Structure 1
Amino acid sequence: MRYILILSFFVFSLCNVSAQEEVKNVIQFTGVVFGADSTSVVPGTHVYIPKSGRGTTTNPYGFFSIPVLEGDSIIFSAVGYKRAYFIIPAHDKESSLKVIIALQDDIKFLEEVEIRPYPTENMFKEALISMELPEQKEYANIYQWLNSQAMREAYLNVGASSNANLQYVMQQQRQSYINKYSPPQNQLLNPFAWANFINSLKRKK
């Protein structure tokens, strides 16, 4: 008799629970998700009901709409924000629920990480010293042409300009005019003239 009473009690309890679940109202849950500053919306926020495995996402304006039951636990999650939770309260008259959800920023500071392609500092220095720049050949040619010896040879082999040629021709013409119309100079003090004179006397002998 005891077992029959216990079994009847459990059956009554299950029926009561089922009856309570059946009386739960379906509510159209709508709202807008904002950021921590309450001025900018958060599009693409996941609105998820773990109990039923259903969910939706907010549109570009942060708006969402999803049917839920009384007592459902709603999870709001978005990249860069902390998760927010909301439990659907009991509704007697209204069949819709409108809310505004504000998500808090989830800021994480990572530790500084140094990335080095070489295992030791000495290997890095050797690679840096032996490294050639993309324009290394052009720089080598510039340094070679700026060498003092190369510059001196280039200066000695450079041709005369048109202005220098004109001055040389005018100087030759002026000297020719002087030699032609000027009186002969006194050659008594000219050693080359005396040498020519002595050589001419020796040839006559």
Structure 2
Amino acid sequence: MTVRNFYFFLVLLFCVALLNSQEASAQAKRRVIQLSGFVTDTTGAFLPGVNLYVPKAGRGTSTSRNGFFSLPVLVGDSLTITCIGYRPQSYTVPDDAKEFTSVLLEMSEDYQILPPVYVMQTEELFKEAVLALNIPLDNTGIDPKSMNAELMALMVKTTPMDGNANYRYYIEQFSTSAENKFHPIYNPFLNPLNWVKFIKDMKKKKKAAENRN
């Protein structure tokens, strides 16, 4: 490395350090705000599981089952608000925000309308397909096979969930996990009262079996 390149490297390093120090001082001058509030949809219903994120700071949070959130931010920070099924929103903390600021954020649903699909069939082929089914009907006009208990139970087990059911299941699991996060988990096998009840039941069953014999 020549002397000229060495001095050029020192000047470049000094400029980078100066810019970082100015940015750090600007960050230090910005006030810290405790931003709290609720997130709702257009009907006013609270939305759980909404993600609020500050990209520049790399921090964020999610709303509770009641749609509540609380997050420390700086004046001028821009929040990105996202949720499955809703359009992304953004919120910028105003310069005149108080130390404890409460807001009410509203999200609108994101509809995706797919192009329609038309299934066309000729009348002759449709009649042939219906006649080929050969469904045995009783006097009520209902196929008894379709009311079979085993078949209906199999349909319940194998029918996949739609988007709404998946969303509800995810939110229920998220809420349950958040509620039980700091709760102790009890083992029912370590409860002495359960063992006393179990022994009494076993004695009753044994005595009833002896009386039958």
What TM-score comes out, normalization by structure 1 length? 0.50
What TM-score comes out, normalization by structure 2 length? 0.48
Larger Cα Rg: Structure 1 or Structure 2? Answer: 1
